């Protein structure tokens, strides 16, 4: 038995040696590297003559397959001959074919591409293309990598977008409009755009990067006063919800005057604008209960396409619907359905891009529910997976999210013994801000969509502190959050979004709903302004934040 134990110890020691980088040379200096689009740790390690494991250890990276654009890495021993020789911890890049075998095509990966997009281009599945090329992790490919495309697969033709018809013109039939997919969408701002791949619509939402934003309400309000209150916050993005039912009460007759006033005021103040468009009018629906989609999804595409055409160069992004995983927002005899939503998204995406190729399309932010009966609600994580199964990655520039924290602090996660004492709202991942973002990110990575950013189109913490109102039972958790905690949670929420590296503009809910709905409206609990329009502590904290 003693000999057996000694043999086992020797084998374990040998295994450790074989899977641990060996130190070959001595010390070296270090530098920093900012991750660029299309890079991964393997390519960065090769660039600096070091190893993935050395970079992982120097930066405390828990998952070497996940780095993000803009991340600043410490590079140990940079500029010297490789000092660490890995012998099994990290796979080297797959061998690169120099010429294509008979009948095959070689695709060279461009900046901003992922395997999903490459597979889509040639009408193949991601799993098949990964297997065909011996790619063990389909989430990790790098710029310049040569992907073998099997015989018989050809780049799918992608027609150029048609010239938009004048407002009021007869819309294209759905069967025609669905075939018009735009190409070479330009970047919106800041980070240089990725090199476009011929024939493919380009996801430029990542070029926006992280930004501060807030949701406001302008209809029937003192617009200059509200815009001034938003401007004082020094946020760069604002969100305004547009209820289709209000502005096209009769089919084919859009009331443009109030929409023009809203868009012109925000654009004139220098904001980037996100319009969140939902709520079909009665004439377009097959139900008169609550809010819901139209019977014919093309009617929605026609409306949002006309918005994009009229406000080209003014409105920067469109959110297609809102909390579509809830019955109250997607009430139809056909029921809640991620596949149905993605079909509506496909038509809307096509209409928007045909009207304004630079406008970004964001999926409707899902409601974290903690509930999943399939009738009143579908759990947002379940619904997001169903959206990917239905092809959402092809028809969106960013994934919308509503990572509200209920009364749980931003850094809290579910569901540990030391979780915050918020009875009935601390026992499910849906109730935790950071965990919602992390779960969405994991689902996106699993579906080969790690290059797409999450846009929190609604987030925040409510408080009834100082309002002298008893919250409705379903919002009783606001009593656990003081005004000072509300302010600090919001500040930390923005900080976390900036730190994560895969978050785009974040829209705080909300600026001015207290003056809009009064103290008894539940939206008032989240408002930065009190019912009289005076700033609450959270407003002052956000205003004074060094952005």
Separation of CA 519 from chain center? 32
What is the model's pLDDT at position 116?
67
Cis peptide, bond prior to residue 415, ω within 30 of zero: yes
Instruction: Tell me whether domains 105-149 and 210-544 share a fold.
Output: no
Q: Average pLDDT, stretch 296-304?
A: 98
Pairing assessment for the beta strands 105-108 and 146-149 based on DSSP bridges:
antiparallel
Of 13-27, 95-109, 294-308, 508-522, which range is least confident? 13-27
Given a cut of 70, whether residue 545 has pLDDT beyond it is yes
Of 45-49, 102-106, 113-117, which range is least confident? 113-117
Every domain of the chain and the residues it spans: 20-85, 105-149, 210-544
Question: Please, what sign has the CA dihedral across residues 281, 286, 290, 292?
Answer: negative
What is the model's pLDDT at position 15?
38
Cβ within 8 Å of residue 49, ≥6 positions away? 77, 78, 79, 80, 81, 82
Nearest CA-CA partner of 443 in 490, 502, 512: 502
Distance of alpha carbon 358 from alpha carbon 201, whole angstroms? 11
Structure-model confidence comparison of residues 335 and 95, the more confident one: 335
What is the model's pLDDT at position 69?
61
- Domain 20-85 bears CATH identifier 3.10.350.10: yes
% of the chain residues with pLDDT over 90: 59
Kindly indicate the confidence band of residue 111, based on its pLDDT and cuts at 50, 70 and 90.
low
Cβ within 8 Å of residue 446, ≥6 positions away? none
What is the model's pLDDT at position 112?
55
Structure-model confidence comparison of residues 21 and 253, the more confident one: 253
What is the model's pLDDT at position 9?
40
Distance of alpha carbon 510 from alpha carbon 523, whole angstroms? 8
Q: Average pLDDT, stretch 455-471?
A: 96
Cβ within 8 Å of residue 305, ≥6 positions away? 164, 171, 348, 351, 352, 354, 355
Of 127-131, 255-259, 343-347, 516-520, which range is least confident? 127-131
What is the model's pLDDT at position 118?
80
Chain segment 301-347, per-residue pLDDT in tens: 999 999 999 999 999 999 999 999 999 999 999 999 999 999 999 99
- Using DSSP's 3-state secondary structure scheme, residue 536 falls into coil
What is the model's pLDDT at position 185?
28
What is the model's pLDDT at position 331?
97
Given a cut of 70, whether residue 13 has pLDDT beyond it is no
Cis peptide, bond prior to residue 242, ω within 30 of zero: no
Separation of CA 66 from chain center? 16
Burial of 393: CB neighbours in 10 Å, binned 0-12, 13-18, 19+ = buried
The CATH number that domain 210-544 falls under is 3.20.20.80
Q: Average pLDDT, stretch 479-507?
A: 97
Of 73-82, 128-137, 511-520, which range is least confident? 73-82
Given a cut of 70, whether residue 202 has pLDDT beyond it is no
Kindly indicate the confidence band of residue 184, based on its pLDDT and cuts at 50, 70 and 90.
very low
Report whether 258 contacts 309 (CB < 8 A): no
Report whether 381 contacts 401 (CB < 8 A): no
Q: How crowded is residue 106: how many other Cβ atoms within 10 Å of its Cβ? A: 14
What is the model's pLDDT at position 54?
81
What is the model's pLDDT at position 28?
44
Of 117-126, 245-254, 305-314, which range is least confident? 117-126
Classify 105-149 by CATH class. Answer: alpha beta
What is the model's pLDDT at position 167?
30
What is the model's pLDDT at position 439?
97
The set of long-range contacts for 252-261, using a CB threshold of 8 Å and a minimum separation of 24, is 252/168, 254/303, 254/306, 256/310, 258/219, 259/307, 259/310, 261/218, 261/223
- Using DSSP's 3-state secondary structure scheme, residue 494 falls into helix
């Amino acid at each position: 038995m003693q000999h057996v134990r000694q043999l086992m110890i020797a084998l374990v020691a040998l295994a450790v040696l074989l899977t641990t980088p060996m130190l070959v040379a001595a010390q070296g200096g270090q530098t920093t590297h900012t991750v660029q689009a299309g890079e991964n740790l393997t390519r960065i390690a090769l660039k600096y003559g070091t190893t993935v494991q050395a970079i992982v250890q120097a930066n405390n990276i828990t998952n070497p397959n996940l780095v993000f654009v803009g991340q600043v890495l410490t590079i140990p021993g940079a500029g010297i001959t490789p000092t660490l020789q890995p012998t099994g911890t990290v796979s080297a890049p797959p061998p690169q074919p120099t010429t294509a075998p008979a009948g095959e095509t070689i695709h060279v990966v461009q900046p901003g591409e992922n395997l999903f997009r490459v597979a889509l281009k040639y009408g193949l599945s991601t799993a098949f293309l990964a297997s065909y090329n011996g790619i063990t992790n389909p989430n990790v490919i790098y710029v310049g990598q040569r992907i073998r495309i099997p015989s018989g697969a050809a780049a799918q033709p992608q027609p150029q977008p048609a010239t938009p018809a004048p407002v009021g013109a007869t819309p294209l039939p759905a069967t025609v409009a669905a075939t018009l997919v735009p190409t070479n969408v330009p970047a919106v701002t800041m980070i240089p755009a990725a090199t476009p791949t011929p024939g493919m619509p380009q996801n430029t939402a990542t070029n926006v990067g992280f930004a501060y934003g807030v949701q406001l309400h302008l209809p029937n309000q003192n617009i200059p006063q509200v815009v001034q209150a938003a401007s004082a916050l020094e946020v760069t993005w604002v969100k305004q919800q547009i209820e289709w039912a209000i502005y096209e009460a009769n089919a084919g007759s859009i009331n443009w005057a109030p929409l023009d006033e809203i868009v012109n005021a925000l654009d004139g103040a220098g904001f980037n604008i996100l319009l969140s468009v939902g709520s079909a009018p009665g004439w377009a629906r097959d139900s008169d209960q609550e809010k819901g989609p139209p019977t014919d999804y093309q009617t929605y595409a026609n409306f949002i396409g006309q918005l994009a055409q009229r406000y080209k160069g003014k409105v920067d992004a469109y959110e297609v619907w809102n909390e579509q995983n809830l019955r109250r927002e997607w009430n139809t005899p056909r029921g809640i359905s991620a596949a149905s939503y993605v079909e509506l998204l496909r038509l809307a995406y096509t209409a928007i891009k045909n009207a304004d190729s630079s406008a970004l399309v964001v999926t409707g932010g899902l409601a974290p529910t903690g509930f999943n009966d399939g009738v009143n609600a579908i759990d947002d994580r379940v619904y997001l997976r169903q959206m990917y199964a239905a092809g959402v990655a092809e028809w969106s520039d960013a994934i919308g999210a509503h990572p509200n924290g209920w009364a749980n602090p931003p850094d809290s996660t579910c569901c540990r013994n030391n979780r915050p004492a918020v009875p009935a709202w601390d026992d499910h991942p849906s109730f935790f801000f950071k965990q919602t973002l992390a779960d969405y990110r994991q689902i996106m990575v699993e579906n080969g969509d790690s290059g797409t950013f999450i846009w929190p189109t609604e987030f925040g913490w409510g408080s009834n502190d100082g309002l002298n109102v008893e919250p409705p039972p379903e919002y009783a958790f606001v009593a656990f959050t003081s005004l000072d905690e509300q302010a600090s949670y919001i500040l930390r929420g923005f900080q976390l979004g900036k730190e994560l590296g895969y978050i785009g503009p974040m829209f705080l809910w909300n600026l001015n709903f207290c003056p809009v709905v009064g103290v008894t409206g539940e939206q008032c609990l989240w408002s930065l302004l009190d019912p009289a329009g005076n700033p609450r502590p959270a407003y002052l904290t956000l205003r004074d934040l060094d952005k």
